[in-house]
Amino acid sequence: MAVLKIPYESSLAPKQTVDDVICIHPMAGKKISSDKSHRVDKEFVHKCSNKCDLCRKLEFTSSLAFHGKRLINHLIRTVESLVQDFCSTLCFMEPNCVSYNEVVISSSPSVTKCELNNSTHNEHPQDLKPWANYSYGGTMNTCGQTPCQHDGTCQTGFTDKGYRCVCPKGYEGSNCEITSAMGWIQMTPSTVCFGAKDDSYGIFTTAISGNITTFKLTYQHGHVSCHAPDTSYQSKWGCLWPPLIPNQMATLITDNDRNLLLPTNDYRSNSRGCTFYSLPWATTESPELLFDNFSFPLMVESNQELQIWFSEDLFRWGDSDNGLERTCVAVYGLYV
């Protein structure tokens, strides 16, 4: 069994003072140079942190090695080496690598091609194929059970757990389980359109889990109309029908069961059987519609569906003469 345990440095590993634990490069005592020959100049010995969070340990065992086999569909990169049996070390130095394919492509001079993979045959046995002249080497992949949450990238061989998680924006914690995002975060998709009749609501999903105090809609293009075909009734956010109070807004946020979320009751008015409202800081032609705050932050999960409605369309009252036009917006949530 070959065990590689060496201090690991990469752009993904945070720089910090390391001490207490000694980790030795597997090539210690040999010669290695910075050129492609990989010859060693001196013994490679460094200290690592006491939790070994900058160290990596991979185990390439004979039980996980197969001659005449090649793992396909999981290639990270291909590296050519002038040193035989060096693919395991190259795999070690690539933080996402957990297995490799090896083949000699030249005998004079000797050149070995190393294919570095981000998965192993244990997770994808159907991808380990018979392949002449190739050899395959795998490790015990502690990332096989996908411990990292919220699409975090799992890297095998780090920390006392045997893996570490590289978290996406907005998450932290050993398994990316903690929401760290604060402030305005855009929802998906980047453009959401809604109309004024025939259930033409817009759908968006939350970017990450957390607590949201309010939403805002940034105008992109289009308009809605509450009395077609007369263009004088068109606006970005509401209805310009003369009997209504000026600047009556009709754009609403609901959950995916059509339950009204925003605006809150503090700003709603009931007119003709549906909800209109006025906001002191916005008009029907404002470039941005900022809603009032929830009384208590709204707890959401990642990719939770919410909807944008025109009020007459939501309540199915008075929308028969509305136009088919749509307002298109970008949606942002304020996380706290």
Q: Give me the pLDDT at residue 323, please.
A: 81
Domain presence at residue 232? yes
Residue 222 confidence (pLDDT) above 50 = yes
Phi, psi of 149 (to 5 degrees): -90, 165
| Closest C-alpha to 273, from 319, 227, 317, 320 | 317
Which pLDDT does position 298 carry in this prediction? 96
pLDDT, residue 156, reads 95
- Distance CA(5)–CA(170), nearest Å, equals 31
User: What per-residue string of b and e applies to 68-95 under the rule 16 or more CB within 10 Å gives b?
Assistant: ebbbeebebeebebebeebbbbbbbebb
Is residue 122 domain-shared with residue 199, that is, in the same domain?
Answer: no
Quick one: pLDDT at residue 271? 54
Is the overall model pTM greater than 0.85, yes or no? no
Query: What is the mean pLDDT of the segment spanning 207-213?
Result: 89
Tens digit of pLDDT for each residue in 7-21? 444 433 333 322 222
Give the pLDDT score at 158: 92
Residue 173 and residue 297 in one domain: no
* Domains identified in the chain, total number: 3
300-335 confidence digits (pLDDT tens): 998 999 999 999 999 888 777 788 899 999 999 999
The tokens for 209 are 């889990």
Query: Given a cut of 80, is residue 241 above it in pLDDT?
Result: no
Burial of 281 per CB tally in 10 Å (0-12, 13-18, 19+): exposed
Tokens of 145: 């059970």
**Under 8 Å CB-to-CB from 126, ≥6 apart: which residues?**
none
User: Of all helices (H) and strands (E), which one includes residue 87?
Assistant: helix 87-93
Domain of residue 80, CATH code: 3.50.4.10
Q: Please indicate, yes or no, whether residues 125 and 267 belong to a single structural domain of this protein.
A: no
Whether 85 is in a domain gets the answer yes
Mean pLDDT of 285-291: 96
Contacts 24+ apart (CB under 8 A), 270-273: 271/244, 272/317, 272/318, 273/315, 273/317, 273/318
Give 279's contacts (C-beta < 8 A, 6+ positions apart).
Answer: 249, 263, 267, 289, 290, 291, 292
Q: Is the pLDDT of residue 47 over 70?
A: no
Q: Same domain, yes or no, for 76 and 153?
A: no
| pLDDT tens, residue by residue, 88-146 | 999 999 999 999 999 999 988 889 999 999 999 999 999 999 999 999 999 999 998 88
Same domain, residue pair 213 and 313: yes
* Predicted confidence band of residue 41 (pLDDT cuts 50, 70, 90): very low
Query: Looking at residue 167, which CATH number applies to its domain?
Result: 2.10.25.10
Residues 148 and 134 in one domain: no
> Would 1 be classed as within a structural domain?
no
- Considering only CA atoms, give the Rg of the chain: 29
Instruction: Give the residue numbers spanning the domain of 163.
Output: 143-180
* pLDDT of 4 higher than 50: no
Instruction: Tell me the percentage of the chain whose pLDDT exceeds 90.
Output: 56
Give the pLDDT of residue 81.
92
Q: Is residue 34 part of a domain?
A: no
Same-domain check for residues 158 and 171:
yes
